[in-house]
Amino acid sequence: MRTTATGFVILAVIITAPAVPAIDFPAGRDAVGHALNRLTYGPRPGDVERVQRMGLSAWIDQQLSPARLDDSALASRLPAMPAKPKTVSSQQEARRYGREAVQVLAQQKVMRAVYSERQLEELLVDFWFNHFNVYAGKGRTSLFIPEYERDAIRPHVLGKFRDLLGATAKSPAMLFYLDNWLSADPEAAERLASQQQQRRARAGLTAPPNAQQRKRGLNENYGRELLELHTLGVDGGYTQDDVINVAKAFTGWTIGRPQPLGRRAQGARRRPFGQAPPAMDMDLGDAPFRFARELHDTSEKIVLGHRFKSGGGMDEGERVLDILASHPSTAKHIATKLVRRFVSDDPPEALVARVAARFRETDGDLREVVRAVITSPEFFAAREGKMKTPLEFIASAVRATGRDMTDAQPMLRALQQLGMAPYQCQPPTGYDDTAETWITAGALVTRMNVAQQIAGAQRATEIGGPEFQKR
Amino acid sequence: MMSRRVFVKSGAMAMVSLGFAPSFLARAAEAATARKKLLIAIFQRGAVDGLNMVVPYGEADYYKLRPSIAIPRPNAADGAIDLDGFFALHPRMGALKPLWDNSALAIVHACGSPDQTRSHFDAQDYMETATPGVKSTRDGWLNRYLQATGSDTSPLRGVAVTKQMPRSLQGHAPTLAVGNIESFDVRGGMGAARELETAFAGSSDSLLSGSAKAAFEAMRTLHAASSGRYQPAAGVEYPRSPFGQALQEIARIAKSDVGLEVAFTEATNWDHHVAEGATQGQIAQRLDDFSRALAALATDLGDRLSETVILTMSEFGRAVAENGNRGTDHGHGNAMLLIGGPVKGRKVYGKWPGLGADQRFEGRDLAVTTDFRDVFGEVATRHLSLSPEALANVFPGFRPGGQLGVFRA
């Protein structure tokens, strides 16, 4: 009993220990407005007063524990996701479902940005999705984006970085987007192909004409982006050999049913005249992560100086993720990006160093890492310089007007015009987070017009005006 | 003829009555009489496979290393389009063949960056800032060119037809990024527009005030010079793709004589790690769109093509051998196209390094024998108006490797 109580006290101390020497939270209207501008999608009428009454410190604590915030009013505003068909019979059908699902998810995203009470959590879901970006336009990726955001990103944005990293690595969306589902040890793939051919020969079937082309091999795409974008950062100290060895370590990390949709559809086109197309037995709802041992490269590998003995299996990918998640370059890279998001386009080095240290001492506890950023003196001092991205501009415009938005579609069109359509960022870098990218002559004109559309003539010059573009 | 200048003049009267200084109109009129040389820079984002775009069909290794994605030799069915007995264009690039035959298309092959990165992000950044290996460069090379060659504050000297301002044009010289001209206007009446213009002019943030100033000036100039639906030259049809439409907007701005010197746009979706295809498939579709759009632009520009250079670039090439998924991974050297009257075309420039195992960069990629800055530099000094002395301002730290001779005397 005593031990438990002491345990609780220690635990409580660990959990609430401030990242930096406690600062006096500013209480003025300006400071609260600043915090609301940076930590939410913009203040609604009355928000500043409300937060002033409860105190900024208490409000930040609340936002860092979003599960405790009642968000039940949001649910009725979210358009329903289309039901995932159990099986599809054509590529077109699968594509149609993917398009619809991503469309609804994008509407939900705008609704959440505007109406969720868990504002900081929504910002962080956006931040981490963008960090681990996947693109709806690439192949079958779109089919898996709703669950990617729901299961791989959202549950971990205030959890451990290693969990977030692991969830993205195993998600069908990422496995598709960065091609890892196809990556295989070339020799293993060849072995498999010849076995298959022998089986077919025994069964009296001739080899398919494109058997040669079906050969699979190593694909570096995921390995490279994992190092460059997800963890170490481009200057994080890795080599081309590391990229190749990481790619080898992840061979065999694939999905439940690795047969590409396109081949099925081709098969369907080649069917004899008059014969009904075969129904595809691909279960869209369930293409879980699978480790295909037969495709894994079991050779010895050296990754960032760590030796992986030959004969390894799925544990090699896990070990790579462990090495990367605890690497100092990762702490610095993540710290830099978070400071850039919340504080300044030119992240102050001293703050980045403190936040990176917090990352390392908490074993990548993102709640504590974020707390270190947003309770820092630098955060409260950095009043100028950050500009709203198009999503922040649009959501904050709706919030400022207090409008009851029932349809997010017009807002999505505006986002498209401004070059930030949700889930449509093609490169793995995600959307940029600096003022120069988003504040351009052409974009300002679009913003002025969107302001008209959202706020009407009365407040268009305020919301389309210079102060409102600042975050 | 119903002259454009008359329209400009009546537009000027309207503006004067609203209290705006008509200096920009004077500038537009001046630009019309003294047409500037024009560069149209096109970025193929995602790293186009240069070896399937400009095919070295004379290399046995090309066929050996690409069993499923090589482009057949020119004499084969649906084979590549022969250029000089060694190189050939991808068969879906036929739209560009007449330009080659007219000596208006030149190619620089095995061209690229001295930096060894295979990161899209870094390599694009290095190419657009033209400072390979240096990450701290804030501005783009095209912006530095504008800074070095004029004090004009018109943003219409440098225009990107893109949603966001590309790195190449970012910097102190005013520039404009715009999706399309027709919708480039502040709605809600003159009153609202004036109120906003005043508010932005008073902002303490220079990015906000500068961008807004550029926007309002550009809107007035463009609308005075070109209004309504754009009509390309007779017989010209741009592909309806985003790239085709972007080139059409560039033609529209170029032909409205508002002082355009540097235009920029991008063609995306070249990162074919999986199922790249050969004469059909992904790359074939992309090259078809790419070539037809470029050919339409060249035709649409008409006699302006004699003062124009269209330059294409991509962050790096792709590995010589196909990968395990019938695609290609990130590589090194690549091909650039130059189109226009000033170009000494019908020739593939640059030293060809060969594709043999010992000739490849790191045993896998086409080696780089021409620094991309040598091409940029030659465009800036031989085609545009940069003085050789000012070259170092646009390409800091670069020691030119010698003239390629891509331009006519």
pLDDT number for residue A213: 39
Closest chain A residue by Cα to residue B187: A449
Residue B383: CATH number of its domain: 3.40.720
Structure tokens at B52: 């399937």
Residue B11 lies in a domain: no
Measured distance CA(A144)–CA(A176) in Å, rounded: 9
Sign of the Cα torsion B20, B21, B27, B33 reads positive
Show Cβ contacts of residue A122 under 8 Å, excluding neighbours closer than 6 positions: A41, A112, A113, A116
Residue B30 lies in a domain: no
Show Cβ contacts of residue B276 under 8 Å, excluding neighbours closer than 6 positions: B49, B52, B69, B282, B283, B322, B326, B327, B328
Residue B330 lies in a domain: yes
pLDDT number for residue B252: 95
In degrees, to the nearest 5, what angle opens at C-alpha B25 toward C-alphas B19 and B31?
165
Mutation target for B interface from A242, A337, A440: give the one with most B CBs within 10 A: A440
Measured distance CA(A419)–CA(B355) in Å, rounded: 40
Residue A185 pLDDT > 80, yes or no? Answer: yes
Q: Do both B123 and B270 map to the same domain?
A: yes
Residue B124 lies in a domain: yes
Residue B353 pLDDT > 80, yes or no? Answer: yes
DSSP code per residue over B212-234: HHHHHHHHHHHHHH--SS--PST
> Which of these three, B227, B255, B285, is where a domain ends?
B227
Measured distance CA(B263)–CA(B248) in Å, rounded: 12
A209 interface with B at CB cutoff 8 Å: no
**pLDDT class of A211 with cuts at 50, 70, 90:** very low
pLDDT number for residue A287: 65
CB hemisphere CA count around A152 (13 angstroms) = 26
Lowest pLDDT segment from A19-23, A173-177, B55-59, B168-172: A19-23
pLDDT in tens, A119-171: 999 999 999 999 999 999 887 889 899 999 999 999 999 999 999 999 999 99
In degrees, to the nearest 5, what angle opens at C-alpha B364 toward C-alphas B360 and B368?
45
Q: How many CB atoms lie within 10 A of CB A302?
A: 11
Smallest Cβ distance to B219: which of A213, A419, A445?
A445
- Average pLDDT along chain A: 87
Task: Report the b/e string of B348-380 with b at 16+ CB within 10 A.
Answer: bbbebbbbeeeebbeebbbbbbbbbbbbbbbbb
Residue B320 pLDDT > 80, yes or no? Answer: yes
Percent of chain A predicted with pLDDT > 70 = 85
Percent of chain A predicted with pLDDT > 90 = 68
Contact indicator for A327, A232 with CB cutoff of 8 Å:
yes
pLDDT in tens, A399-445: 999 989 999 999 999 999 898 999 998 888 899 999 988 998 889 99
B397 interface with A at CB cutoff 8 Å: no
Q: Do both B220 and B310 map to the same domain?
A: no
Q: Do both B112 and B207 map to the same domain?
A: no
Give backbone dihedrals phi and psi of A359, rounded to 5 degrees, phi first.
-55, -45
Q: What is the CA radius of gyration of chain B?
A: 22
Measured distance CA(B112)–CA(B118) in Å, rounded: 12
Give the pairing of strands A306-308 and B38-44.
unpaired
pLDDT in tens, B27-38: 544 544 456 899
**pLDDT class of B17 with cuts at 50, 70, 90:** very low
Give backbone dihedrals phi and psi of A415, rounded to 5 degrees, phi first.
-65, -40
Using CB atoms and an 8 Å cut-off, which of residues 336-355 of chain B contact chain A? Answer: none
Closest chain A residue by Cα to residue B268: A426
Using CB atoms and an 8 Å cut-off, which of residues 142-171 of chain B contact chain A? Answer: 155, 163-165, 170
Residue A288 pLDDT > 50, yes or no? Answer: yes
Residue B338 pLDDT > 90, yes or no? Answer: yes
Structure tokens at A191: 């072995």
Using CB atoms and an 8 Å cut-off, which of residues 352-391 of chain B contact chain A? Answer: 362
Asked if A182 and B274 come within 8 Å (Cβ–Cβ), the reply is yes
Q: Which of B75, B69, B76 is closest to B283 using CA atoms?
A: B69
Measured distance CA(A453)–CA(A417) in Å, rounded: 13
Residue B407 lies in a domain: no
Residue B126 lies in a domain: yes
SS3 B271: coil
**pLDDT class of A200 with cuts at 50, 70, 90:** confident
A218 interface with B at CB cutoff 8 Å: yes
pLDDT number for residue A346: 95
Q: Do both B302 and B353 map to the same domain?
A: yes
Asked if B324 and A183 come within 8 Å (Cβ–Cβ), the reply is yes
Measured distance CA(B358)–CA(A253) in Å, rounded: 34
Q: Do both B176 and B208 map to the same domain?
A: no
CA distance B314 to chain A (A): 14
**Into how many domains does chain B fold?**
2
Q: Do both B110 and B204 map to the same domain?
A: no
Q: Do both B161 and B222 map to the same domain?
A: no
Using CB atoms and an 8 Å cut-off, which of residues 432-471 of chain A contact chain B? Answer: 432, 435-446, 448-449, 452, 457, 460-461, 464-467, 469-470
Q: Do both B292 and B192 map to the same domain?
A: no
Domain ranges (residues) in chain A = 182-199+217-265+285-322, 387-471
pLDDT number for residue A202: 76
pTM over 0.95: no
- Average pLDDT along chain B: 90
Task: Report the b/e string of A414-453 with b at 16+ CB within 10 A.
Answer: bbebbbbbbbbbebbbbbbbebbbbbbbbbbbbbbbbbbb
SS3 B337: strand
Residue B131 lies in a domain: yes
Percent of chain B predicted with pLDDT > 90 = 75
pLDDT number for residue A56: 95
Is B63 buried (19+), middle (13-18) or exposed (0-12) by CB count in 10 A? middle
Structure tokens at A93: 């059908």
Q: Do both B143 and B214 map to the same domain?
A: no
pLDDT in tens, B53-92: 999 999 999 999 999 999 999 999 999 999 999 999 999 9
pLDDT in tens, A19-78: 555 567 787 899 999 999 999 999 999 999 999 999 999 999 999 999 999 999 999 999
B329: chain A residues, CB-CB within 8 Å: 219-221
Q: Do both B193 and B48 map to the same domain?
A: no
Contact indicator for A243, A225 with CB cutoff of 8 Å:
no
Range of the domain at B192: 188-227
Give backbone dihedrals phi and psi of A402, rounded to 5 degrees, phi first.
65, 20
Asked if B192 and A460 come within 8 Å (Cβ–Cβ), the reply is yes
Phi-psi region of B408 (alpha: psi -120 to 50; beta: other; left: phi over 0): beta
